[in-house]
Structure 1
């Protein structure tokens, strides 16, 4: 079991570590590459996963509900913890609500459970993204217009892919192959970009960062277990939900905190320490779900 877990996690953290090393030594500007990834490659990955006759969106409704409950429930728990601990809720709540389901979650699902796990993981990813770009932005600024969330390329690709699946429209196979090939660029680029971004982060609040880094997967896995008691899911989706719960805070939380001036140094500490601690928590989650 230990060897299998190492074999699953090693490629993820090896590519991330390489990105971190290059980020420290070379300090490359990946802003254009990251924009291309979010605007072209990730949408291609999402569309290719959803736009096939085997994808039935109605079959994923329980998973959509479970994911929504997990994200919202994590936020409520974080808000309660923040009030009790005297922490500014806007600093703690987003990193606990929104995990690294893109950079780590998508490749981890494929490595651990095979290509068949990509579509349900994309469902988890898109539910989290929709809430992050709408409610997550509103949380920082109640005056923000959440309508542009529908213009996010990965969101547009989601609805287009679902529409193709529902209508049983057959995309020309060579075109679908080209889209799938573009999507395959996104996963290693996300991991490498994650490492480069972490290389530019600072740890100014070690205690606070460690607190958030532990709270995120503990709350996530506990909620996943509780939700699975009331919502019946297939075994693979149960495993993905538990792994989803164990993921660390998303790097996007730091970008939001920096944009809105919400203690970005503390959030950066949670993100950096959380992604390092993910080696432990993802190992625990995989040990719980692998046969």
Structure 2
């Protein structure tokens, strides 16, 4: 009973905000283009930088977790490629959906609620590593025409690089500036959940069948690899919980932007992403049941 209460305390606030976004999206049908650009280009980079550059975040302590997460992303990509071959579907469509999870919109708020502010830097590091692989290798998988250089010079990638540099060297802006950066960055968490809820209104009944493959494969293949990797890297309870939650997250919303940019079956990718995020109501509690007992 206590475990169920802890899981509810984590997921109910998150899905409440998503639900508000869904209800508002159904009623107002807002255009989120400018809103999402501000969140992605300003607020998210500042949240990532301040999370990594925080004095309480010690990069060396989290290197095993970061290594395990990188291998998890790459391993799910290999399994997704095999799945695409077996199901005779496009690897350029399926593989990035399965490789890259929603560790920003959903993962960061969930990690904050599940593991507390003291472990939030580790969740930001996982998000940053996922983004670095997504905007380099993931973009190239999506399309051979992808400009890796352009993606790696995006504000989010620059903020990640600077954040890891600050974590490694201890060099960071004065605290008075860091406070201002946090004020701009931290509202990103509820705003991205709100945006996710609005996006779920775009799901259509005809998209369900083609979207189920990626929607289920993303968390199932992730969880299949998470526990062996946690054992291989000898992760402590907190890091193991972070990795399990990371593994079970739904597909990354940002993959739709790449699929749309390069014309790689964007409607099918959107269905996989939207269904996957809807199914998070099943897979996230499962992951938390595995992750929280050791906390």
Q: Under a length normalisation based on structure 1, what TM-score does the superposition of the two structures give?
A: 0.95
Instruction: Name the CA distance, whole Å, in 2 between partners of 1:170 and 1:244.
Output: 27
Cα deviation digits, residues 100-137 of structure 1 (max 9, x gap): 11000000000111011211111111111111111111
Q: Which residue of 1 aligns with 2:105?
A: 103
Instruction: Name the CA distance, whole Å, in 2 between partners of 1:203 and 1:86.
Output: 23
Report if aligned partners of 2:136, 2:152 keep a CA contact under 8 Å in 1.
no
Residue 118 of structure 1: which of 117, 120, 124 is its match?
A: 120
Report if aligned partners of 1:23, 1:200 keep a CA contact under 8 Å in 2.
no
- C-alpha distance 169-26 of structure 1, shift in aligned 2 (>3 A): same
Report if aligned partners of 1:204, 1:266 keep a CA contact under 8 Å in 2.
no
RMSD: 1.6
- C-alpha distance 226-23 of structure 1, shift in aligned 2 (>3 A): same
Residue 92 (structure 1) aligned with residue 94 (structure 2): yes
Instruction: Name the CA distance, whole Å, in 2 between partners of 1:139 and 1:101.
Output: 19
Report if aligned partners of 1:203, 1:268 keep a CA contact under 8 Å in 2.
no
Cα deviation digits, residues 157-195 of structure 1 (max 9, x gap): 122223233332353222211111111111011101111
Local SS of the residue matching 2:23: helix
Report if aligned partners of 2:49, 2:159 keep a CA contact under 8 Å in 1.
yes
Cα deviation digits, residues 228-286 of structure 1 (max 9, x gap): 12112222111010001100111122222222222222222211111111111110110
Q: Which residue of 2 aligns with 1:142?
A: 144
Cα deviation digits, residues 6-52 of structure 1 (max 9, x gap): 12101111111111111121111221121111111111111111213
Q: Which residue of 1 aligns with 2:173?
A: 171
Instruction: Name the CA distance, whole Å, in 2 between partners of 1:234 and 1:151.
Output: 34
Which is worse superposed, 248-257 or 202-211? 202-211
- C-alpha distance 170-210 of structure 1, shift in aligned 2 (>3 A): closer
Report if aligned partners of 2:96, 2:142 keep a CA contact under 8 Å in 1.
no
Residue 45 of structure 1: which of 47, 51, 72 is its match?
A: 47
Task: Name stretches of at least 5 consecutive residues in structure 2 with no aligned partner.
Answer: none
Q: CA deviation at 1:93?
A: 0.8
Residue 68 of structure 1: which of 60, 67, 70 is its match?
A: 70
Runs (4 or more) in structure 1 with deviation over 4 Å come to none
Cα deviation digits, residues 68-101 of structure 1 (max 9, x gap): 1111111110110111111111121111001111
Report if aligned partners of 1:203, 1:272 keep a CA contact under 8 Å in 2.
no
Cα deviation digits, residues 40-67 of structure 1 (max 9, x gap): 1111111111213332222222222111
Report if aligned partners of 2:50, 2:181 keep a CA contact under 8 Å in 1.
yes
Task: Name stretches of at least 5 consecutive residues in structure 1 with no aligned partner.
Answer: none
Aligned residues: 291
Report if aligned partners of 2:199, 2:274 keep a CA contact under 8 Å in 1.
no
Instruction: Name the CA distance, whole Å, in 1 between partners of 2:119 and 2:97.
Output: 25
Report if aligned partners of 1:204, 1:269 keep a CA contact under 8 Å in 2.
no
Residue 218 of structure 2: which of 216, 219, 240 is its match?
A: 216
Instruction: Name the CA distance, whole Å, in 1 between partners of 2:165 and 2:149.
Output: 20
